[in-house]
Amino acid sequence: MYTGETSGNASGTGNTWGIPVDVGFTPDLVMLKSRTQTYGWYVYDTIRKGNKPTGTAVPGADLECYDWLELHDTDASTNSPFGNGIGIRHNGFNVDIAGQGIGEANQGTDNMIAYCFRAGGYKGTWNVDGEDVSNYTNAGLNYGDTAKLNGCTVNTKAGFSIVKWTQDGGGAGSQIAHGLPKAPNFVIMKHLNSTSNWFVVHTGIETEGKILYINSDSAQDTSSDFGSVWPGATYTSTSTTGVNGRQVIMYSWCDVEGIQKFGQYEGNGDASEGVYVHCGFKPALLWFKRVDSTSDWNVRDSTRDPFNPCKSRLLLQSTSVEGQSDAVDILSQGFKLYNSGNNFNNGGSKYVYCAWADMNQSSMFGATPNAR
């Protein structure tokens, strides 16, 4: 699959840097999870590079990333240059499989899953569509609290950006520019130098000011770090207040026809007929979560299950190994959910979903359509 997002299997072989994982483009955000062991979700991005080990080089890497976050917990960003790094390459990445959890030496093939997203590259501090644009104004971030911004990588064509910023001690909320051509539909925010939840705003939640946490199965909550309004056309309002020097990373996506869609559906509780959700493309990666009650963050993809029904399940908020449950059919224009359980088809319950395409139906910078 190729849309600026992809999923693929990374395999541990016992060598220091293992084999290259080719995804067809240079990723700016990489999420790794073991399918066979109870290790966590490791998250890397090209804004948080980390410290490069002295005298050590990743074979074939253009950029080495050692600062990692764990999607399933509240820990601050960790720098571990000798065991949990990845090397970004022009068409993928290398994994340090000596690092227990992200590489799993000698665990066999197809034991890892990787989800990769392309933003604006990493030629400099302010990156847009593959170019170093020198400053935040040229990057389209000249809105809101510009003095707090530290750097960005923005893909205006695929509707995905990463922005890093630092909170001052003034006691007021912040307005953080996202650089996208329109208001984001899905935003994830995490503190880097202190513990915090993974705060989520999704416009499929019916009420402004309500948020979810990726590291928790809890129902929607009153916003504590996001503002009380939806993300706007130029910036996202946050409520991270009064903590001088708190560093924050923010991942933002907006709907792009043929590439990605973020929405809501209502369960019908019918295990035989199920619920059909129209996306306008064939999804390759699906996340969905009930918002009005406790439920898992379910993850399905067409790499682990290339044929329907798609039943191989991972949970974003959990370190649990891959399981088999709750059938989903991935279709040419969307997806259909069966069963009647709490996790994604309880009758009358509201759910949000995130869907990324199986193939690129519109060109974006440095890329052409390439069906899987």
pLDDT in tens, 104-125: 544 555 678 889 999 999 999 9
Mean pLDDT score of the chain, rounded to an integer? 84
Give the pLDDT score at 105: 47
Confidence of residue 127 (pLDDT cuts 50, 70, 90): very high
Structure tokens at 128: 């847009």
Per-residue model confidence (pLDDT) at position 14: 44
| Domain edges within the chain | 5-117, 126-253, 261-357
Q: What is the mean pLDDT of residues 208-217?
A: 93
Q: How far is the C-alpha of 252 from the C-alpha of 150, rounded, in Å?
A: 16
Query: What are 248-298's pLDDT values in tens digits?
Result: 999 999 999 999 999 999 999 888 888 999 999 999 999 999 999 999 999
Burial code (b: 16+ CB inside 10 Å, e: under 16) for 141-167 equals: bebbbbebbebbbbbbbbbbbbbbbbb
320-336 residue pLDDT tens: 999 998 889 999 999 99
pLDDT tens figures, 348-371: 999 999 999 976 555 566 554 333
pTM: predicted TM-score of the whole model, two decimal places: 0.92
User: Could you tell me which of 297, 195, 203 has the C-alpha nearest to residue 248?
Assistant: 195
